[in-house]
Amino acid sequence: MIRDIDVSVLRDTVARLIVEANYTIPSDILSALRDAAVREESPLGRRTLEQLVRNYEIAAAERVPVCQDSGLAVVMLEVGQDVHWVGGSLQEAIYEGIRAGTKSGYLRWSVTGDPTRMLKTAGGDTPGVIHVDLVPGADVKLTVASKGFGAENTSALRMFVPADGVPAIADFVLETVDRAGANACPPIIVGVGIGGTFEAAALLAKKAVLRPIDVRHARPDLCRLEGDLLARVNDLGIGPQGLGGRVTALAVNIEVYPTHIAGLPVAVNLGCHSTRRISTTL
């Protein structure tokens, strides 16, 4: 049974979600920050966490962006294969939704059209990155994230070989977080993508960093690895905003995918304490 969906529905939903994502931090993250403000041993770290919580309360109450960096929009779609889009271009509808939400929500336009900066003008207004997965059924799951670049800039990808194994993955995660330090705006969320190809590992890491932080991996061994890596990341001592302390990360989220018998791609995508994401189903 084919289901028609008008792209204007998607456009309007994207516009609404991008504003909401920037005004209201996900409840799992806010709750983890409140817990961390109690648990943190460093006085300066505690004060910092209390200020972060206060900032989120102000932003939600006054309906203003939690951070001036309203990020680069990342729109992820899980589209049921029985869906038929009507009424125009799917891609343009998403772009229009991002543009409309950015304007109506007084979000900062943070996109430059030319990444090389060789063009003298900003060049174009393509406003985001879109990922589409085709799944069975006739539903559309939509996730809108606003990815700030303080943390994005500190992310990394490395191609290991099979013999390197889990110890190399762990060392790479710790090295990436340690190098990022305060610049990733800790307490951070660590998204780890393991497997697939070069680009698939990066996308897995993005999906991992956008997974709610109160959801652990369903595989018991990976769930344990997430816990072990979180403990080791927090032993780095970076602490809230790099001012020292026990709470450097709120979660380590891992996603895996089969890979080549000769390979072990690993991507680490860091998310700041303000990892803005919101999902809905059309």
- Which of 8, 24, 55, 197 forms a contact with another protein (CB under 8 A)? 55
Binding status of residue 232 toward another protein by CB under 8 A: yes
Beta bridge partners of 254: 192
Closer to another protein by Cβ: residue 161 or 231: 231
Any residues with CB less than 8 A from the CB of 203 and at least 6 apart, and which?
131, 193, 196
Binding status of residue 238 toward another protein by CB under 8 A: yes
How many binding residues for another protein (CB under 8 A)? 49
> Which tokens belong to 46?
């505690």
Binding status of residue 26 toward another protein by CB under 8 A: no
Binding status of residue 152 toward another protein by CB under 8 A: no
The three-state secondary structure class of 215 is coil
Please identify, among the stretches 3-11, 13-21, 216-224, 236-244, the one whose residues bind another protein according to the rule CB under 8 A: 236-244
Binding status of residue 162 toward another protein by CB under 8 A: no
Closest CB 217 distance from another protein, rounded Å: 23
Backbone torsions φ then ψ of 140, nearest 5 degrees: -125, 120
Closer to another protein by Cβ: residue 59 or 140: 59
- Which of 181, 212, 227, 263 forms a contact with another protein (CB under 8 A)? 181
Report CA-CA distances (Å) from 108 to 40, 87, 111, 153, 276. 32, 29, 9, 18, 14
Closest CB 122 distance from another protein, rounded Å: 8
CB atoms within 10 A of CB 43: 11
> Which tokens belong to 15?
């516009």
Pairing label, strands 72-80, 128-135: parallel
Residues 65-84 that bind another protein (CB under 8 A): 65-70
Closer to another protein by Cβ: residue 55 or 259: 55
Cβ 76 vs Cβ 131: under 8 Å: yes
Binding status of residue 168 toward another protein by CB under 8 A: no
Pairing label, strands 188-196, 249-259: parallel
Beta bridge partners of 195: 257
- Which of 12, 20, 28, 50 forms a contact with another protein (CB under 8 A)? 50
Please confirm whether the linkage preceding 162 is cis (ω < 30° from 0). no
Query: Residues 190-229 vs another protein: string with x where CB under 8 A?
Result: ----------------------------------------
- Which of 243, 256, 263, 279 forms a contact with another protein (CB under 8 A)? 243
Strand order in the sheet with 72-80: 128-135, 72-80, 140-147, 276-281
Binding status of residue 271 toward another protein by CB under 8 A: no
Q: What is the DSSP string of 159-192?
A: EE-GGGHHHHHHHHHHHHHHHHGGGG-SSEEEEE
Binding status of residue 64 toward another protein by CB under 8 A: yes
- Which of 138, 236, 256, 282 forms a contact with another protein (CB under 8 A)? 236
Binding status of residue 31 toward another protein by CB under 8 A: no
Residues that bind another protein (CB under 8 A): 42-44, 46-48, 50-52, 54-56, 58-59, 62, 64-70, 106-110, 148, 150, 153, 181-183, 185, 232, 235-239, 241-246, 272-274
